[in-house]
Amino acid sequence: SQTIHQWPATLVQPVGSPLSLECTVEGTSNPNLYWYRQAAGRGLQLLFYSVGIGQISSEVPQNLSASRPQDRQFILSSKKLLLSDSGFYLCAWSPTMGAEAFFGQGTRLTVV
């Protein structure tokens, strides 16, 4: 069966520090991968999606970036965090674009 791993679960980072969140999927090949952000009490905002290795589409211009160095690995990065980057970051995968999505446990990021 397919599983998705996301880490760390929680993270407190100072303003201006770098960020690297990692997500890996097991049990499937060539998944579509997504990064969503959820602000406190709000909906899910699509940040990036990827249909294949090295292919990244950005939805929201910001100081975040994403990379997909391997088929089942998706990384969210920032060179310098802002206070507004705080939130709940969720990685997800789906077998095809627009199909049901399976989410990781999420990372709660607090920028201080």
Partner 1 sequence: GQQVMQIPQYQHVQEGEDFTTYCNSSTTLSNIQWYKQRPGGHPVFLIQLVKSGEVKKQKRLTFQFGEAKKNSSLHITATQTTDVGTYFCAGPLYSGYALNFGKGTSLLVTP
In the three-class reduction of DSSP (H, G, I as helix; E, B as strand; rest coil), residue 84 is classed as helix
Compute the distance between CA of residue 11 and CA of residue 33 in angstroms, rounded to an integer: 22
- Contact with partner 1 (CB under 8 A) among 22, 58, 67, 103: 103
- Contact with partner 1 (CB under 8 A) among 13, 56, 71, 101: 101
| Contacts with 13 (C-beta within 8 Å, 6 or more apart), sequence order | 19, 81, 109, 110, 111, 112
Compute the distance between CA of residue 3 and CA of residue 100 in angstroms, rounded to an integer: 14
Residues 37-56 that bind partner 1 (CB under 8 A): 41-44, 46, 49
- Contact with partner 1 (CB under 8 A) among 21, 34, 81, 87: 34
Contact between 97 and partner 1 by CB under 8 A: the answer reads yes
Contact between 105 and partner 1 by CB under 8 A: the answer reads yes
Contact between 106 and partner 1 by CB under 8 A: the answer reads yes
Q: Which is nearer to partner 1, 15 or 65 (CB)?
A: 65
CA distances from 49 to 15, 67, 92 (A): 26, 10, 9
Q: Which residues contact partner 1 by CB under 8 A?
A: 32, 34, 36, 41-44, 46, 49, 59, 90, 94, 96-106
